[in-house]
Structure 1
């Protein structure tokens, strides 16, 4: 239940960013503004967090970065694309597994209504 409240709060912040900016900007613009909104909402969030992979018990920096991380709670993967594709979902699910975080949000800002660009994920189930 706590994860649902957290994702609702984050989606509310994302909706505010989308209302202010609309579609058509670079992903980095949405990321910066969403970080501002999350901070204003009192959420501890970090952007561009390095995500190493563990290979044969060795941590390797393979260049993966999480767009936004709410430590130990939620990974937010941002997009500004024409259409979300299965590879975008796979990317977030992989990040969730590597980071051992059960909840994730995939948010595409390049839509007319943000609700059409949001997908929630849980490692126990995805939608």
Structure 2
């Protein structure tokens, strides 16, 4: 499955979760429900996936935890906030860069219109 195919599946299932639950819940609830929906349709998904980073000779184990990793290709960072900001995008960009992933999706479940809370971020296409 390509990154684009995965992102389509994530969007469709994120929309399903958003329609059923609405806005205003904790991020962990949306994460668990999206994890459930993706597993239910047979997508390989890891929850709270640890990411190690190397700084010179120093290995920092479990430096970060990615919310969801789909098919070992697409990183999902889930939020339930009033609005996304530059820090949220920078966080996901770092996960992509440090983990050498091509595509990430930043999803804010607290957006009234689901599509307005979804941002796709590709690794290496821009600098911050």
TM-score (normalised: structure 2): 0.92
Match of 2:45 in 1: 45
1:1-127 alignment, distance < 5 Å:
2-61=2-61, 63-125=63-125
**Structure 1 residues not aligned, in runs of 5+:** none
Q: Matched residues in 2 for 1:101 and 1:72: separation?
A: 8
Deviation at 1:2, TM superposition (A): 2.2
Match of 1:81, SS state, is coil
Q: Matched residues in 2 for 1:94 and 1:83: separation?
A: 20
Give a deviation string over 1:19-43, Cα, whole Å, max 9, x none.
0100000000000000001111211
**Structure 2 residues not aligned, in runs of 5+:** none
Match of 2:83, SS state, is coil
Q: Which runs of 4+ in 1 moved over 3 A?
A: none
Deviation at 1:52, TM superposition (A): 1.6
CA RMSD, Structure 1 to Structure 2 (Å): 1.5
State whether residues 50 and 62 of structure 2, in contact with CA within 8 Å, keep that contact through their aligned partners in structure 1. no
Give a deviation string over 1:84-107, Cα, whole Å, max 9, x none.
001100000000011110110000
Q: Matched residues in 1 for 2:42 and 2:26: separation?
A: 25
State whether residues 103 and 123 of structure 2, in contact with CA within 8 Å, keep that contact through their aligned partners in structure 1. yes
